[in-house]
Amino acid sequence: MLTIAFIGFGNAVVNYHLPYLERKENIRIKSIYRREEDRIGDTEREGWYPSIQFTTNLQEVLEDPEIELVVICTHVDSHTEYARKALENNKHVLVEKPFAATVEEAKEIFDFAASKGLIAMANQNRRFDGDFLTLKKVIESGVLGQIIEIQSHYDYFRPQYINKEFGMMHGLAVHTIDQLYSLFGKPKKIHYDVRSVYHPGESDDYIDIDFHYGQLKTTVKCSLAVKINHPKFVVHGDKGSFIKYSSGHQQKNENGPTKVSFETEEESNWGTLSYVDTNGVEHQEKVKSEVTDYGILYEKLYQSIKQKTEKPVKDEEVLAVLQILNDGVNAAKNANYETENL
């Protein structure tokens, strides 16, 4: 049994952590720490989780001998502070993305954790999105031949949400950049087209980044000003193409806990695969969607803690993604540019 505690109780915890842990028999959520000011006018949701202890006393969590893992789900500017406190009290830490505000802060936490024989890891749960798992399945099948291009979209039409403080690099692109980085690793070259469309020089609200791997180019696109339903993934290889629209799986409820479906989505939303086989025969078929399950990351982390297996999200991956995020923000504030090295 792995006993865990959360620091923070925002939408990330309610929607992307708790629903996936409730059926894990080997993981127990004991407590959630919230600052007193965060509870004002927002205590009703605590009643949805009667088995969890809510507290405004951080030391109560950090000094609890039963708790082995602390999950940090606060604003990025407090990630490093909370992670260090948890590690000082001999707790492993899982930190929401982005892991830290800077590469330097992230390195400090990773080094400190290593010095104490503990695990510090970023919660890159989007590696277990159903649409991304379906993409991986198609690529690994080899039917597309040599992959030439992959486009990844994460778009909305919500221009009213765009303000000077909203950063789409850290808010949205962090998910898809990590997904593609986890597949292909360090690119040979990166081209940044990251813009401040609504508040020039003050925000990053349009993202179009190309990652070059020789013959392969992957592209991450994010915008809050897209009033059309793009496919989540478009893949072209020298033997064929694959298109997959986003997979939805949550049932948010204002009067109770978020529920998620672990059933395969409707066939109408399965991906479309078109390719030519080795005999020159053309095929067009639907690809059954994989199921989104962010609990898989917890299972892998459980094994890392209990069985000393390799962490599912490596330190060098986290550092590389953070560097890309920071370079993208700089590109928006200055001019578009390319970088040969991360």
Task: Compute the distance between CA of residue 201 and CA of residue 315 in angstroms, rounded to an integer.
Answer: 31
Least confident range from 35-49, 115-129, 226-240: namely 35-49
Q: What is the mean pLDDT of residues 301-306?
A: 97
Give the three-state DSSP class for 27.
Answer: strand
CATH of 129-292+323-339, one of 3.30.360.10, 3.40.30.10, 3.40.50.2000, 3.40.980.10: 3.30.360.10
From 126-130, 136-140, 338-342, the region with the lowest mean pLDDT: 338-342
What integer pLDDT is reported at residue 336 of this predicted model?
45
Question: Is 211 in contact with 187 (CB distance < 8 Å)?
Answer: yes
| Chain segment 35-92, per-residue pLDDT in tens | 988 888 788 889 999 999 999 999 999 999 999 999 999 999 999 999 999 999 999 9
Of all residues in the chain, the percent with pLDDT exceeding 90 is 74
CA-to-CA distance for 3 and 69, rounded, in angstroms? 7
Beta bridge partners of 187: none
Separation CA 250–CA 61 (nearest Å): 29
- Using DSSP's 3-state secondary structure scheme, residue 122 falls into strand
Burial 231-249 (b: 16+ CB within 10 A, else e): bbbbbbbebbbbbbbbbeb
Stated pTM of the model: 0.91
Residue 79 contacts residue 100 (beta carbons within 8 Å): yes
pLDDT, tens digit, 9 for 90 and up, residues 183-208: 999 999 999 999 877 777 677 888 99
pLDDT single digits (tens) 248-258: 766 666 778 88
Structure tokens at 184: 């292909």
Rounded to whole angstroms, what are the CA distances from 313 to 119, 128, 187, 310, 321? 11, 12, 18, 9, 11
| pLDDT for position 250 | 63
- At 300 the pLDDT is 97
The CATH fold assigned to 2-122 is: Rossmann fold (3.40.50)
Separation in Å, CA 329 to CA 22, 190, 193, 194, 208 = 37, 14, 10, 7, 12
Q: Peptide bond preceding 98: is omega within 30 degrees of 0, i.e. cis? A: yes
Q: What span, in angstroms and rounded, lies between the C-alpha atoms of 306 and 176?
A: 29
Q: Where are the domains of the chain?
A: 2-122, 129-292+323-339
Reply yes or no on whether the pLDDT at 232 is more than 50: yes
Residues 6+ apart with CB under 8 A from 278: none
Would you say residue 163 has pLDDT above 60?
A: no
